[in-house]
Structure 1
């Protein structure tokens, strides 16, 4: 099988796409209703419909820029929104807005304050992360420095704030106001109206783990203000429950768009993901806010799924211990990469950076559970490897990829007519030991359900119905560092009835 070079395209579309549809493990108690402080209100005005908008606290909504280092120096890469909830500078936002991802380290957070509804926000402060829960995708940050990076006395800030409402009192059809900086379509603050269209349950957060809304919420609004008509904060727009397809969630500086050889602030941002249509209720942020106000600093990941691989009645279908080359596997060798059966393993050698090599077996199935032993014989540091299913090689390659990486990340993606689309990831999991030599990978491709487990623990699930059947196989690739050698052994396949 001749390798192809899609890794750079994967980079453009995989970052920031954080679609987590998995059950979470909660830390701490979750109160039913917050005690609302006195809300900040703006000047009295009426909108064109005659509805009073005097209580919508747009000045308490900020734009948050992540200052990151992606390997070529610091730059303002991606942005989100946040809501100031205390005069001394605590801000509620999304975890994915303020935390590092696989490709870039967040070095600082620039806070741009809203001063007028018809002008861009003004860079005013820097902030630090106090609390973040990646499973909830909620974070609490606090303004700590002025624009000159000097420490400030928080007690003197007296910032505009938004009052905390009660998401438990919401009903279907209740109006919702979304305020934030969408990142596309202009630089000024944007207000979007919608209605409560439903609720989504999730263990252990109950029947209102998500609030669904009819409002179209563009990605830069992620982490911003979702309020009642009288300006009470009742939800946080989040990627976790978004339902759009092929639309933009975040806009991140990830590619050398001006072709000057450097990825920096002079490049155009790359939109990724989809429109958001879900809110996290504000009650889920309260334990984090209370911990932050006590001065505690904690970053947790409660996103580890507690589900099982999709199964039904299973029947053993195929096994290969690679003691000999049976001709089932696609093998090749060239300067960029090689795949061969040697020494009782199927050996992948990837010599180039940003390169993928895959080997489909000459076996086709509909619904399968696949297990394989993985040995990283020659690490690259950030190489990835995994299982492919439903491979279809017509005029272009089409298949699902379920992978983990040496540095502790996972992803499920699909390759459609030689184009990548990430279904979930790349995100980090504590279940993936960083720098380990040996893993047991298990992948399920059953109906429209896809899942991958590492050493018996599921790290990712996704739902997609693009491909219903096809060949199975294995894959390995590199990112920034070349020279990855991965050995696969004890390949087992069971079909699912």
Structure 2
């Protein structure tokens, strides 16, 4: 669940477990049992690691759209979304608004066939399309998480039926499915009512469903369903006033449909995505009643046919590049602008233009130089009334990297050690599912951690692990060698164990360090 001003990191989800807090939720009683089983299996957990900080990541939810492995989620689950407020943590990593958390756009997909069991990392998915302004993204499963075996054409996964979100009415029942992280790490269902509609940009079309349904952190990108179990939207954000009143926001599914359609087209090609990139492709955009197609780049332009010599890679010395942007329902006099970039730097911009190209057609924007355009990575952004409506990129001179073979993100660093172990009940010796094992940064004591009541409390955690049904955990990321770490171990209904200087990672320790079983006693 994303607040309107903050992109959450994964470790914050663990704090509620350590201190034994739990959110109350109501099961989706109104849905038929068979439907409940289907929709719980179609909700997936997404885990996305940062390129520039392997110790941190994002935990979110997603909706499986079909057996080909297409997944709908929020952009802030896989990339930098600002909402007008910069995130200092992401800025410190060198990320810009709109950038993906990792250049390949990869996320681990965890699924479960049993809501009583924790989801298991099963697949790797890659971003196909997205929009950071609307906070929408579509991914496609491209590989197994722990196998090089080729994926079948039809995956053994459940998928949601899609509804027409324009038919949703006030006071309709709504169910939210996802992985909120609070009170355990299993899939969770909550229910409520559609409270109303929000037209955020006041263009006459509603942008959000307002709801009273309880949506917790980690539910972002998950599934909002009608009484038939059909997908009607994506739980995305919440609004809170100074008095503490909260209302939750769901992005209507119909707003995501153009991105789903674009992803289906992009995903039908092999390979699905080529080359490292920091932003996903964009489908047709809308701004009010105006709409825009995808940018196309080429060496020439024909007034009747648009761009000619279309490509994404151009030879050194080319003197002119044209960009074609299809548009419909534009009004003359509307404020618009553009920004050309070379290797991340603005080279030609104008944000003070007035539209004078008619209602529909193909806009021609171009760069030229008699001496040849310099080699590098180019980008173009187009704005309408100050809002980004389309963007694209191409390369001159440097040969773009070939198609990337998707691979499992590897959290093990050259000088780091993953820690694994088992948590069991002291009396019964049975494994404890859903226990959390947290390691603190060197120099941070347990007392320091307990005293810290700030919003940055999670910054004291260097890595963590959650136990599965067999009580086994493995840390999400590695611990650097040559350091000593404090540790906290806890589970609901048990006394926690907290110790300073609990584990020393030696230079000659193996890449995977297995600890002896650790016993927890029941809380009294």
Q: Structure 2-normalised TM-score?
A: 0.43
Structure with bigger strand share is 1
Q: Report the TM-score when normalising by structure 1.
A: 0.45
- Where relative contact order (Cα < 8 A, 6+ residues apart) is larger, the structure is 1
